[in-house]
Amino acid sequence: ALLEYSDQKLSYGPVRGSGDEVTVHTEVAQPGGLPIPIDYRLYKKGEEWKAFDVIIDGVSLVTNYRSTFSQEIRKNGLDALIQKLAERRRES
């Protein structure tokens, strides 16, 4: 999705952390607007780095989904959440 932005400029900041878990800071500069900070949280699995969270302008996708999932579990139970996620995956 980031490749669809043609007038914006993406800059990479320092990598924070060490060992098997790091955060890569980036910013998307918009013409005439404020830059949007985007942090990617990564962990190392074997020889590969895997993203496990994206934080856009201070909002963590993991935290957001955790809240949504918690509500779904309280309302319909864990099995219903798992079934719903499996259905969404099949549809995509």
Q: 7-63 pLDDT, tens per residue?
A: 788 899 989 998 999 999 999 998 888 999 999 999 999 999 999 999 999 999 999
Do 36 and 73 belong together in one domain? no
Do 6 and 51 belong together in one domain? yes
Do 71 and 91 belong together in one domain? yes
Do 15 and 25 belong together in one domain? yes
How far apart are alpha carbons 13 and 18 in whole angstroms? 15
**Predicted TM-score (pTM) above 0.75:** no
For 70-83, write each residue's pLDDT tens digit.
Answer: 999 999 999 999 99
Rounded to the nearest 10 degrees, how much is the dihedral formed by the CA atoms of 67, 73, 78, 83? Answer: -80
Return the DSSP state at 5: -
Bridge-partner residues for 45, per DSSP? 48
Q: Domain span at residue 88?
A: 59-92
Domain at 31, CATH number = 3.10.450.50
**Structurally, how many domains does the chain consist of?**
2
Do 7 and 46 belong together in one domain? yes
